[in-house]
Amino acid sequence: MNEPLFLRRSVQAFCFVLISWIALPAQAVLPGAVGDGTELPSLAPMLEKTSPAVVNIATTTKVRQRNPLMEDPFFRRFFNVPPGRQMPERRASSAGSGVIVDAKSGYVLTNAHVVDGADEVEVTLTDGRSLKADVIGVDREVDLAVVKVDAKGLSEIKIADSTKLKVGDFVVAIGNPFGLGQTVTSGIVSALGRTGLGIEGYENFIQTDASINPGNSGGALVNLRGELVGINTAILAPAGGNVGIGFAIPTEMAENVMQQLIDHGEVRRGVLGVTIQDLTEELAEAFDVDKKEGVVITQVMEDSAAEDAGLKSGDVVVAVDGRPVKRASDLRNKVGLSPVGEKIELSVVRDGKNRKVIATIRETSQKTSSGTGFSKHLDGASLRDLRKGEVSYAEVGVLIEQVEQGSAAWRAGVRAGDVIINANRKDVTSVNELKGVIADKDAALLLRINREGGVFYIVIR
């Protein structure tokens, strides 16, 4: 009999305590930072000033539909298809982002792949205005482009010095992922100077874990002051979505390219005139270098900026303009992004002794041509004359400098770095000779190609 009484009293006591706790004022159980009226930390004030400078870019491109039967000469003859008849075109649309860097002139910085080849470019501002844009210039090697809009009341973003970034710095990505509209994500700088990814010709990426997804391309990567430190460009993800590895082009590279595109409509790259390779422990010992990182000059071209400066094979470049050179891509980026006529100071080690060498960047005499002007089968390829000593596996020929993935040339098996040494059973040593042996742009093409020392034929119909 005592047990039920004991239980009843215990339950009554528990209920009293529970009711008393529930009756306490709400602010008594909340953190003081929330309940006492103190303003919470927020990025909103910074974003209110910065976001209007980040725009949505929509492009429209005319794409000719493909039909393998229409490309078959037998099919066309059998059904008496007129020679000039082509498949109808369709309009393809895509979206990306951009950053207003000059409000007065209306210049917008974005990625080259966002606007390259587009027939129409439209920029949409955060205030809802849609503006027609003109493409001022495109640099595929760095994947940057400048477009221009004619409007008043634009907001621009201040450009910061990306060389002052450190791993661990907080950054914010602003863009238009998946066409949803402007979106803001935050993270940190995960790494600096990322190269060798094969994404662009010149690479020196900022890596960040701020979410970057399709549509963010061309958008802004900003610091906590709302200053531009990079242009969002690519993601590394097996399924095409964000996994915390995104890449942005630092403003150090972007500013240089942007200014050349505005001034000239193109990037006028210079050359130093050397072939190089990364320094290894064995090479460092052989060349009497006490450094673990650097670049070895393997060959100096005749009548080049390097020869004029006194550089020699075996020199080890350890710094350019006071900044360390750790790998071949560092030197290549510095030279490739330096305007023609600019002087650079190279710190080199020769015979165990340190010395300074001043070289003046020269304009390359090699002109790149589009393969479309030679044959429809080379559409998507960029060609130029092979420079003497440029590659070890060929002395003369036509170098395939670049091939757009998915293009006609790519599908035919042509790859960047290939050297065409014979076309239609005639040896060719220059672009002009190649053009001379291709009489019909639509005809089948027989190419003899040297690929890293291996020689073979490709028949393209």
3 state SS of 271? strand
Residues 439 and 378 reside in one and the same domain: yes
Task: Determine the average pLDDT of the residues in 133-155.
Answer: 91
Catalytic residue among 97, 113, 162, 369: 113
Residues 251 and 279 reside in one and the same domain: no
- pLDDT classification of 56: cutoffs 50, 70, 90: very high
Residues 218 and 246 reside in one and the same domain: yes
Residues 180 and 205 reside in one and the same domain: yes
Is 113 an annotated catalytic residue? Answer: yes
* Cα first-last separation, the chain: 102
Q: Is residue 358 in some structural domain?
A: yes
Residues 173 and 254 reside in one and the same domain: yes
- Residue 393 pLDDT more than 90? no
Q: Is residue 28 in some structural domain?
A: no
Catalytic residue among 139, 143, 379, 385: 143
Q: Is residue 329 in some structural domain?
A: yes
pLDDT score of 21: 41
pLDDT score of 78: 61
Q: Is residue 112 in some structural domain?
A: yes
pLDDT score of 29: 41
The domain that holds 55 is classified in CATH as 2.40.10.10
d(CA 140, CA 127): 31
d(CA 29, CA 309): 74
Is 143 an annotated catalytic residue? Answer: yes
The domain that holds 300 is classified in CATH as 2.30.42.10
Q: Is residue 36 in some structural domain?
A: no
> Which domain covers residue 246, as residue numbers?
162-264
- Residue ending a domain, among 338, 363, 388, is 363
pLDDT score of 443: 86
User: What tens digit of pLDDT does each residue of 62-116 get?
Assistant: 655 555 555 556 555 666 666 555 555 566 667 889 999 999 999 999 999 898 8
Q: Is residue 204 in some structural domain?
A: yes
Check if the beta carbon of residue 77 is closer than 8 Å to that of residue 212.
no
Residues 166 and 260 reside in one and the same domain: yes
The H-or-E segment that residue 358 falls in is strand 353-360
Residues 232 and 280 reside in one and the same domain: no
- Residue ending a domain, among 347, 363, 379, is 363
Which two three-digit tokens encode residue 445?
């093409």
pLDDT score of 28: 36
Is 97 an annotated catalytic residue? Answer: no
Q: In total, how many domains does the chain have?
A: 4
Q: Is residue 251 in some structural domain?
A: yes
Catalytic residue among 162, 217, 338, 382: 217
d(CA 39, CA 44): 12
- Residue 373 pLDDT more than 70? yes
Residues 242 and 292 reside in one and the same domain: no
- pLDDT classification of 156: cutoffs 50, 70, 90: very high
Residues 100 and 115 reside in one and the same domain: yes
- Residue ending a domain, among 264, 290, 317, is 264
Q: Is the CA virtual torsion 99, 101, 105, 108 positive or negative?
A: negative
